[in-house]
Amino acid sequence: MAWMHRKRDTHHPFLLLVNGKLIRDESIDPAWSLAFYLRENHIKGVKVGCNQGGCGACTVLISRYYKEEDQFRHYSANACITPIASVHGSHIMTVEYLSDAKENTCHVIQDAIVKGCASQCGFCTPGMIMSLLAMAYTEPDTRLNITQIKKAIQGYRSILQAFQNVSLCNSKAVNDIEDIGKGIQMFESQRTVVPHDMSTIGGCLSVDNSASDLQTLANALEWSALYFNPVSQAHSEIKSAFPTHPQSQSIIVNVKIPFTMMNEYTWAYKLSRRRFFDTAILNIASKTQVIPADNADAKIFKINLSFGGSAIKRFSLLFTYGTKPEDLSSELFIKMNNDIQKEISSHLNTHMYSITYISALAKNLLKKLYEYLHDALHPSVSSIHQDPDEMALTQLKATQMIGTTKLKDQIDTDLVWRAIPHESAYKHATGEAVYCDDIPGFKNELFLELVWSKRAHAFLKKVDVSKSLEIEGVVGFISHEDLKDKNMFGIIVKDEEIFASEKVRCVGQLIGALVATTPSKAKLAAELVDIQYIDCHPRILTISDAIGYKSFFDEHSTSLKVGDVDSALENSEHVIADEIKLGGQIHFYMEPQSAIAIPKGEDGEMELIVATQNPAEVQLLVSRTLGISQSKVVVRVKRVGGGFGGKDSRCALVALPCAVAAKKFGKPVRCILERRTDMIISGKREPFLAKYEVGFNSDGRLHAIRMNIYSNAGLSLDASSVSIERAVLNLDNAYHIPNLDVFGVPCKSNKPSNTVFRGPGTVQGSHFIENILDRIAANLNKDPADVRLVNMYKESDYTPYGQLLENSTIRQCWDECIESSSYYERRKEAELYNSTHLYRKRGLYLIPCHFGIGYIYLPLNQAGALVHIYRDGSVLLSIGGVEIGQGLNSKMIQILKSTVDSNHELQNLVTECNSKGFVNKQSSTILINCFVTKLIEIKGPSPSTADQRLFAISILNILPCWRYPQSAEGIVTDDFGNLLTTGTSSYKIPTALDIPLEFNVSFLEGSSNPKAIYSSKTVGEPPFILANSVYFAIKDAVRQFRKQLGMDTKFKMDSPATVEKVLDACNDLYEPLIV
């Protein structure tokens, strides 16, 4: 929150048009953001997901009238980082302006989102709609192409497909602003890139940011800027030294960009963690002068190099050979590389990357420059033509995305099998959907800001809040002293303090909270808290640390034994012992952790509105903390802006402090975390480590596996015992392991307590067995698909936990996927391609999935439903589930309508328990079937009701093996336990541009399962497991590279496969520069 706590009176009123309505404000604070101001004025369609300008949920359209030109100019902007003062006199259009709830109308883009089944949690949907609309405004004479749409929305395939069906054009005959942009026609041949509308060259050159690509280019190409100081009225010029400022008050008045000469060659390149929309790890720009110009005998006269990036402090190097121009040669570039490496060592500016990695990147960029110059100066004999490796010099460019989804024949009256929109899709698209922070403020409402530890393991010597309490509007401070014997919580065991009392055990552990009358005052007060620590040891940050100090949750370990592992290993033809590491993952839900606590004033009753997947657990924890019965605590959840498990238990970090503060001060208390704080204090997917020994025969058949599995649970257990349990139970994935001895235990460390994440434990267990089979295939020099098939489950096999496999379709799925994907044909094509390309490789992989639904702890498998049919024919369905974007409410409506065969309107759907979808469908269907017979007896003809909104369900029986992984790049902390990936600028998740160009989905015919509701096999977690195929395809590409160079094809590459790990696996690139 970038706003200040004090409003300033202005001489002239602040004027702003918002959605056609004039706002005149006499007292604004220039430090406010536009998003804050709009939301304070009840424009809730502008969502704040990151407050860093990175997620796009707050996108708005800014229009300004230019009198000299007698026309409007339109700009898209991230409202969360747009200063309110910068939009004085402008018109702001938000998503609310595009629809009219009273008239039941909406914009064509909004309608496309709905009908394309393109919204999930819906939190960022308004921002995507406004991004696309802004492109139609800012490119009035240009047809937008699919590449531009991908860059505008950064979503997933359903969104892209929805927008491809929209046709926007800028008609010259339109009368009103809302009439502009009725459709977009997309042509891939046009590759216009639309920059951020609010960006300027001068602004980019002014920012003190080594990662700026433009500054690197400006320094190498010798741009200059003229600065003016309004105080001294002096002018000064800066050339090739950006972002140097003559004085802090100076502003850029013009920029000079020189033309290149005939004998000059310019080149630039950028390396980042994500192919698009990412800051550079390292970037380079160069301008090379040769003499004579345009001659095959040209020699190097001068090379001007500039380096930048988030990993280094910007620097430039000038290589001049005026007296003796040099030939373009390996020797020349090796000398240049020596100088560059010295500069890299002295300019390293990061804890996220090693000096070895950055040095390797610089060397490889220099190699690319050499190849570029070689091709430019000697095109007839260039290595590009000698070697079909031309792709090594060019970036891969996206072509038209294609995909198919093969569904079973659908009957119009069969609601369950129809692909229909989300139950709240229109609300998502129009900005009407209400999330926790959209709830209007209560009278006398207070705001809470958390105070958390900056040390990983330390005693609290002093916590001084005196300066904080001196701020006008600060109501008070809450800490462990307000809770006494009620300070412990936990969902399985109560082993974590709500507020640290004597010692902090991780960076991010809560120490207390400041409560004030405004969010900005609470934030300022929290920053002024004086905390003194006494560090203590050990500081356990990794699983290896925990193993060394024997720091385990021993009582929550899990083991599974089948057969005689010792004998089987002894009799195996081959035995391998190794270890597998699997990194953690941040949930990155769009809506941050949020809670509002409202004291009811009678008998200690408390009402909470919480963004949670588990309101029942919140109710229990709040009642225990406040010392009141559960019946006096009401927890409400309308919808949640994404969760993935991150809002199952760790939402207590905001809900409990809010409840304590509301009880103490007797007023409603609201806490909405900033993205940075959310990412630091909240739990994440646990990192895992598996140490194994596997025995197998020469045909690849498994004999035995012995494995120890460790997870980094953090400072408390939370639900990590569930993850370790499921990792043990799902180690088999889709394979028969005759002899198995596996043990798993969560590790206790000085990290924030980790928690469940989509597919907890199942993802890790399946990854371990797939890694083992990949290693076996490499050892035996066999196709990994053949090794998997020989070990795959058959009908009537037993799993290690004793389940008989009935109606098993795994081999049928496997055969159909091989056929539909043309696997073996593609394998031959990849081999041919790889044999003729050194630096570009094609990897190919096929992964099956055997997924079990359920938990050992039986209450977790329970669910309930309650159906009320009122006398007017309306229906109320209450279920034990939470809508977090998975379409649970829509599925329940489909099942109800299909079972009851009712045309009556479903008035409401009430949430009670948690976010589990499958078990709720089961309970709802059983319940509905109990009363449907009685309903049929009394049902007669009824008139048609109003249009009904029914929503999509995916019945997943088979998926292809190339679904894009949801896993993000690795979580990075420093040696002191501080999280370095704390926002959209440092933690990168996939975008629409990362979706596979060919994405096919099919469903297996004739695979109904009588034990599952409508043969449902869940929709979220099995595809996640299949994303293992992407990791192993990358690994396969690396293996082909190593194989071509005569290197060992048995190598380690831990997940996630970040660019750094991939480069490390191709470890010959760390050798001296060879061009």
Tens of pLDDT, residue by residue over 438-448, are 999 999 999 99
Residue scoring higher pLDDT (790 or 972): 790
Query: Is 648 a known ligand-binding residue?
Result: no
Identify the pLDDT of residue 950.
Answer: 23
Identify the pLDDT of residue 1067.
Answer: 75
Question: Tokens 């309903």 — which residue?
Answer: 935
Tens of pLDDT, residue by residue over 148-176, are 565 556 556 677 777 666 655 433 333 33
Q: Give mean pLDDT, residues 943-955.
A: 26
Active site residues: 1021
Residue scoring higher pLDDT (389 or 320): 320
**Residue 137: pLDDT band with limits 50, 70, 90:** confident
Q: Give mean pLDDT, residues 556-578.
A: 97
Helix (H, G, I), strand (E, B) or coil at 73: strand
Q: Give mean pLDDT, residues 627-642.
A: 96
pLDDT at 938 > cutoff 60: no
CA distance 883 to 428: 13
Identify the pLDDT of residue 961.
Answer: 30
Identify the pLDDT of residue 966.
Answer: 28
Q: Give mean pLDDT, residues 543-548.
A: 98
- Any idea what the Cα angle at residue 91 is, between residues 86 and 97, rounded to 5°? 130
For 1-197, the fitting CATH number among 3.40.50.720, 3.40.1260.10, 3.10.20.30, 3.40.50.150 is 3.10.20.30
Q: How far is CA 851 from CA 745, 762, 928, in A?
A: 22, 8, 27
Mean pLDDT in the chain?
A: 84
**Residue 914: pLDDT band with limits 50, 70, 90:** low
pLDDT at 136 > cutoff 50: yes
- Which three-class secondary structure string do you get for 222-262? CCEEEEEECCCCEEEEEECCCCCCCCCCCEEEEEECCCCCC
E strands in 217-367: 224-229, 234-239, 251-256, 264-271, 282-291, 299-308, 315-320
Query: Is 812 a known ligand-binding residue?
Result: no
pLDDT at 11 > cutoff 70: no
Residue scoring higher pLDDT (596 or 923): 596
For 687-691, 838-842, 972-976, 1049-1053, which range has the lowest pLDDT when averaged over its residues?
972-976
Identify the pLDDT of residue 156.
Answer: 65
Q: Give mean pLDDT, residues 122-133.
A: 91
**Residue 428: pLDDT band with limits 50, 70, 90:** very high
Are 57 and 93 a contacting pair, CB within 8 Å?
Answer: no
Q: How far is CA 276 from CA 307, 783, 924, in A?
A: 20, 33, 44
Neighbouring CB atoms inside 10 A of 393's CB total 17
DSSP sequence for 165-214: T--B---TT--SGGGS---B---TT--PPPPPTT--HHHHHHS--TT-HH
Query: Is 613 a known ligand-binding residue?
Result: yes
- In CATH terms, are 452-539+588-681 and 543-586+684-803 the same topology? yes
Within 8 A by CB and 6+ apart from 419, the residues are 117, 407, 410, 952, 953
Identify the pLDDT of residue 956.
Answer: 32
Query: Is 872 a known ligand-binding residue?
Result: no
H or E stretch covering 787:
helix 784-791
| Greatest mean pLDDT range, 194-198, 347-351, 479-483, 1000-1004 | 479-483
Helix (H, G, I), strand (E, B) or coil at 837: coil
- Name which of 452, 519, 517, 476 is nearest 680 in CA terms: 452
Q: At what angle do helices 652-665 and 615-626 cross, to 10 degrees?
A: 40
Identify the pLDDT of residue 911.
Answer: 54
Residue scoring higher pLDDT (396 or 1027): 1027
CATH class of 201-393: alpha beta
CA distance 280 to 899: 54
**Residue 141: pLDDT band with limits 50, 70, 90:** low
For 218-232, 324-338, 469-483, 919-933, which range has the lowest pLDDT when averaged over its residues?
919-933
pLDDT at 963 > cutoff 60: no
Residue 691 burial by Cβ neighbours in a 10 Å radius (0-12, 13-18, 19+): middle
DSSP sequence for 481-493: GGTGGG-EE-SSS
CA distance 281 to 271: 6
pLDDT at 405 > cutoff 50: yes
Identify the pLDDT of residue 922.
Answer: 55
Query: Is 726 a known ligand-binding residue?
Result: yes
Identify the pLDDT of residue 937.
Answer: 41
In this prediction, what percent of the chain has a pLDDT beyond 70?
Answer: 81
* Sequence ranges of the domains in the chain: 1-197, 201-393, 452-539+588-681, 543-586+684-803, 858-938
In this structure, what DSSP letter does residue 1046 have? T
Identify the pLDDT of residue 705.
Answer: 99
In this structure, what DSSP letter does residue 60 have? E
Identify the pLDDT of residue 976.
Answer: 79
Are 105 and 129 a contacting pair, CB within 8 Å?
Answer: no
Assigned token pair, 723: 């993850």
- Name which of 226, 227, 224 is nearest 256 in CA terms: 224
**Residue 901: pLDDT band with limits 50, 70, 90:** low
Cα-to-chain-centroid distance, residue 1031: 17
Residue scoring higher pLDDT (285 or 230): 285
Q: How far is CA 265 from CA 221, 293, 300, 391, 665, in A?
A: 10, 10, 11, 20, 69
Q: Which residues pair with 670 in a beta bridge?
A: 447, 596
Q: Give mean pLDDT, residues 1000-1010.
A: 75
Q: Give mean pLDDT, residues 388-411.
A: 55
Are 882 and 436 a contacting pair, CB within 8 Å?
Answer: no
Identify the pLDDT of residue 999.
Answer: 78
Q: At what angle do helices 1028-1044 and 823-836 cross, to 10 degrees?
A: 40
CATH 3.30.1540.20 assigned to 543-586+684-803: no
Identify the pLDDT of residue 183.
Answer: 32
pLDDT at 379 > cutoff 90: no
Query: Is 948 a known ligand-binding residue?
Result: no
Are 340 and 1072 a contacting pair, CB within 8 Å?
Answer: no
Identify the pLDDT of residue 142.
Answer: 54
CA distance 1042 to 778: 12
**Residue 824: pLDDT band with limits 50, 70, 90:** very high
Q: Look up the CATH number of domain 858-938.
A: 3.30.365.10
Residues 406, 408, 412, 418: is their CA dihedral positive or negative?
negative
Whether this prediction's pTM lies above 0.85 is answered by yes
CA distance 239 to 219: 7
Identify the pLDDT of residue 629.
Answer: 97
Identify the pLDDT of residue 981.
Answer: 85
**Residue 189: pLDDT band with limits 50, 70, 90:** very low
Identify the pLDDT of residue 917.
Answer: 55
Identify the pLDDT of residue 249.
Answer: 77
- Name which of 888, 866, 413, 979 is nearest 640 in CA terms: 888
Tens of pLDDT, residue by residue over 696-725, are 999 999 999 999 999 999 999 999 999 999
H or E stretch covering 660:
helix 652-665
Identify the pLDDT of residue 969.
Answer: 39
Identify the pLDDT of residue 924.
Answer: 53
Q: Give mean pLDDT, residues 650-675.
A: 98
**Residue 388: pLDDT band with limits 50, 70, 90:** very low
**Residue 184: pLDDT band with limits 50, 70, 90:** very low
Tens of pLDDT, residue by residue over 218-261, are 999 999 999 998 888 888 888 888 887 666 678 889 999 999 99
**Residue 887: pLDDT band with limits 50, 70, 90:** confident
- Name which of 1033, 1030, 1026, 1032 is nearest 959 in CA terms: 1026
Q: Look up the CATH number of domain 452-539+588-681.
A: 3.30.365.10
Within 8 A by CB and 6+ apart from 999, the residues are 157, 401, 402, 403, 960, 962, 963, 964
- Name which of 324, 316, 323 is nearest 286 in CA terms: 316
Identify the pLDDT of residue 380.
Answer: 56
Identify the pLDDT of residue 952.
Answer: 24
Question: Tokens 């294609």 — which residue?
Answer: 402
